Amino acid sequence: MAPKLSLPKSLAFIPVFLAGAAFSIPVTQLLPTIAQPQQQVSQIPGNNSNFIAAAVEKTGSAVVRIDSTNPGSRFNSSRRRVQRGVGSGFIINENGTILTNAHVVKGASKVRVTLGNGRNFSGQVLGTDELTDLAVIKISANNLPKLKLGNSDNLKPGEWAIAIGNPLGLDNTVTAGIISGTGRSSGVIGSPDKRVRFIQTDAAINPGNSGGPLLNQRGEVIGINTAIIGRAQGLGFAIPINRAREIAAQLIDGKQVQHPYLGIGMTTLTQETKEDLSQRNNFRVSASKGVVILDVANNSPAARAGLRIGDVIEQIDGRQVATADELQKLVEKSRVGGNMTLKVNRSGRNLNINITPGQFPVSQS
């Protein structure tokens, strides 16, 4: 296979399969923090003077603390080291279904869920999805408080955002800010292995907030707090609740979460891109717009369909695609095992190529 094409760091590189970030930005994944002694949650006064306090009073009892126990891989004095962490989550129905992050419960041998009133439960992990960093936990209880799920599709920068969680073991900590941005691709924030278009917020998020809710001013869940960018302030990211709702439904039903992929590295074709490809790779692209393929993964759907480095994808199923971001969204909305027809410009020739999206491969380690 021909070597992959190289681009300067100034050009966006959005991978469909291959790992590759658009920018080299250090990202701190919000791993569960070191466990701290359980603290008594203070009650919120009933006489609220602002909408943030009102939203917290309405929702705080449904935000939970998740303590996980994960046997480590190292031994010390013939004793296996045990790693303990603290994360957050929230109840979505009265029968004890809880949403959190996959990394909060990853590898955990035990999960303990603590409600706002101090009641403790043993939690069963119903399923996890590494690619969206989502997990569902079930506890045996009834008549529990729950959070109302909002709509994350129409969020606008500048709207209020309220985060509740257990940062550094400090239970039911509340922070507030605004929605700073939406549709942040995983590659742009430095986590190219995720299939999420994150909500960005400046509400303070710290280790231990992972899995907790991001609320709007009405107290509805609009996101699940997940990540921060290291050495930065006011750069927190959350999984949009509409995306989380789709994934959670599959996990609750015991299904494998569907993540269609093609297996290409790609970038939006611009005049700058064309000039750079010509200068750095002695490769000429005749098309004027579309998405140019920079790499094709071995044994991928793209390789089996005959796609090549340098091909420019101009349409998917008759729909024009002008940017790599648009193409990525269309692939994500497709079906594993389904059929797609790509209109491709290959060295000036127009081709129609049929391709069958596959299931995004995930490392089992």
Active site residues: 103, 133, 210
User: Would you say how long the chain is, in residues?
Assistant: 365
CA distance linking residue 313 with residue 293, whole number of Å: 8
Tokens in use for 10? 């100034």
Q: Are 239 and 30 in contact (CB under 8 A)?
A: no
Q: Taking the CA atoms of the chain, what radius of gyration do you get in angstroms?
A: 22
CA distance linking residue 291 with residue 278, whole number of Å: 16
CA distance linking residue 153 with residue 172, whole number of Å: 27
The residues facing 121 across adjacent strands are: 113
Question: To which H or E segment does residue 125 belong?
Answer: strand 124-129
CA distance linking residue 176 with residue 203, whole number of Å: 5
